[in-house]
Chains A and B, each alone.
Chain A
Amino acid sequence: MNFLSNLISGLSLGSIYALIALGYTMVYGIAKMLNFAHGDIIMVGAFASIVFINNLGLPMILGVLLSIVVCVAVGVLVEKIAYKPLRSAPPLSVLITAIGVSYFLQSLAQLIFGTNQKAFPKFIQVAPVQIGELTIKGESIVTLAVTVAIMIALTLFINKTRMGKAMRAVSEDRQAAELMGISVNRTITITFAIGSALASVAGSFYGLTYSFIGPYTGSMPGIKAFVAAVFGGIGSIPGAMIGGILLGIIENMAKAYISTELSDAIVFGVLIIVLLFKPTGLLGKKINEKV
């Protein structure tokens, strides 16, 4: 029973990682860049929620929903200002810029909110569910339900809609997509918007799980989600989902049965082993570099 309850909290944590990993993997697939500032969008969203709820007194759910808007705006703005001018620059310059953006967002948050951790509002309160001897936290159930619903919606969007198909086309061959009349710039903007919205939702549930946030809150889940994306095969959407969920489960199991201190080391260890045997990740395709 203990095992089952650990599995479920692992699933719930993993589904949060998966949402963040989706942003990494979509931006990588479509804009062909690693957006290392992606994790910090989580932090931006969490602070936005706090401002809306604590400072402006908005209802909690509304505050959390509005924080999505803020994240989308920040994500799209960062892309326009920092990344778009570098569209044909060498990948290393873009990577360094992304790291710069990450520090910028963290410092900005520190400047505005100080370095102290702030309590994150408990915007969802659901009674635990008791099944026989198994107790499941209400928050875990809500987190899982929402994240799974979002992942299903995203999968349908990518596979069935005109815009989703255009995103796949851009990800596969940017020039050919342009020749179809697809605006690559607009597609990249939409990708950043979606990624940031997902990060914001993930950030809210992350805040709910860990209760406190600070200027650096985004970096650890950001790195883990990046690991999850690589683990699943960067560029692959189902890969990011599976990678994120597995990572959450592994992390939780390692905490429960091996050692809390070592759990992160174990997570990264597993990644290294998987990559040794399958360098492109679980569902990764061969990366073909195009000029």
Chain B
Amino acid sequence: MRNNMLKVDNINVYYGKIHAIKDVSFEVKEGEIVSLIGANGAGKSTTLKTISGLLRSKTGSIEFCGEDIGKTESYKLVSKGMAHVPEGRRIFLQMTVQENLEMGAYTSDGDIQKDLEDIYARFPRLAERKNQIAGTLSGGEQQMLAMGRAMMSHPKLLILDEPSMGLAPILVQRIFDLIKELHKSGTTILLVEQNAEMALSIADRAYVLESGRVVLTGTGKELAASDEIKKAYLGG
């Protein structure tokens, strides 16, 4: 049996009085792609932000590589091997492409020049624009930059919040290809998507969130075939 990389146990998260996450538990094992799917407002982003320490749970625990990180400051998680590409990309729009990538390597003690070259080799568009202000990039390029920025820290666990949001179908395909490549090269992935069909097609396992609760879980295949899911998320 594979080890747990991430174990979320019974978390409850509030925004003031709003109870956004209710008794959520799930785990991500080493080497898996796990997907969280659910409608807009179901609590997917809140769950991810709680994992990466931007929000706190009132109950339960979160373990990352066997260590309780429930109270760990957010910025310390990067050097522990977690990278979170937030919803809406959140690249630094006023900084250059290269500076954005350098920020991804902020805690890195490796060879940053080489890592930059690797990213540029993977994304030639970013190489062409490395001295350009990131705010001038197209949506697809910005998503590539956000992913490249996260890859600069060589994460063990890559957390992606709706990476395909707002992108043209061909770019969505590219993002999913990239996720598969990263997975193949050994990165564990926690993927949040509204594009449930795509997400389920690459996920080893998935959890379905509804109004802040996990209502369904199974392998990607099982869920993709389930009538409930088809009706609610796959348009048929």
Contacts and interface: CB of A to CB of B under 8 A. Distances in A.
Interface of A: 162, 165-166, 168-169, 172-173, 175-184, 285
A169 B92 CA distance: 6
A178 B102 contact: no
Contacts of A183: 73, 75
A176 B107 contact: no
A175 B86 contact: yes
Contacts of A179: 52, 54, 74-75, 78, 83-84, 86, 90
Centre residue among A176, A182, A184, A285 by max chain B CB count within 10 A: A176
A181 B54 contact: no
B54 A168 contact: no
B99 A181 contact: no
A283 B163 CA distance: 34
Nearest to A163: B106
B103 A166 contact: yes
Contacts of A168: 92, 94-95, 99
Contacts of A180: 75, 78, 103-104, 106-107, 149, 153
B93 interface: yes
A181 B92 contact: no
B79 interface: yes
Contacts of B103: 165-166, 169, 177, 180, 182
Nearest to B83: A179
A49 to B, nearest CB: 37
A280 to B, nearest CB: 14
Binding site secondary structure of chain A: helix
A183 B77 CA distance: 11
Interface string B74-115: 111111000110100011111100010011101100000000
A165 B104 CA distance: 11
Interface in B137-193: 149, 153
Given A162-B106, A169-B103, A175-B86, A184 B94 contact: no
Centre residue among A175, A181, A184, A285 by max chain B CB count within 10 A: A181
Contacts of B93: 172
Contact of B106 (A172, A175, A181, A184): A181
Contacts of B54: 175, 178-179
Give the 5 A-B CB pairs with smallest separation, nearest first. Answer: A181-B78, A181-B107, A176-B90, A178-B74, A180-B103
Nearest to B153: A181
Nearest to B159: A179
27 contacts: A165-B102, A168-B94, A168-B99, A169-B95, A169-B103, A172-B95, A175-B86, A176-B86, A177-B103, A178-B53, A178-B54, A178-B74, A179-B54, A179-B74, A179-B75, A179-B83, A179-B84, A179-B90, A180-B75, A180-B78, A180-B104, A180-B107, A180-B149, A182-B103, A183-B75, A184-B75, A285-B94
A161 to B, nearest CB: 11
B80 to A, nearest CB: 10
Contacts of B77: 181
A184 B103 CA distance: 13
Nearest to B149: A180
Centre residue among B74, B78, B79, B93 by max chain A CB count within 10 A: B74
A166 B102 CA distance: 9
Nearest to A290: B90
A172 B96 CA distance: 13
Contacts of A178: 53-54, 74-75
A120 to B, nearest CB: 40
Contact of A165 (B75, B90, B99): B99
Given A165-B99, A179-B78, 9 more contacts: A162-B102, A165-B103, A166-B106, A176-B86, A178-B54, A179-B90, A180-B149, A181-B79, A183-B75
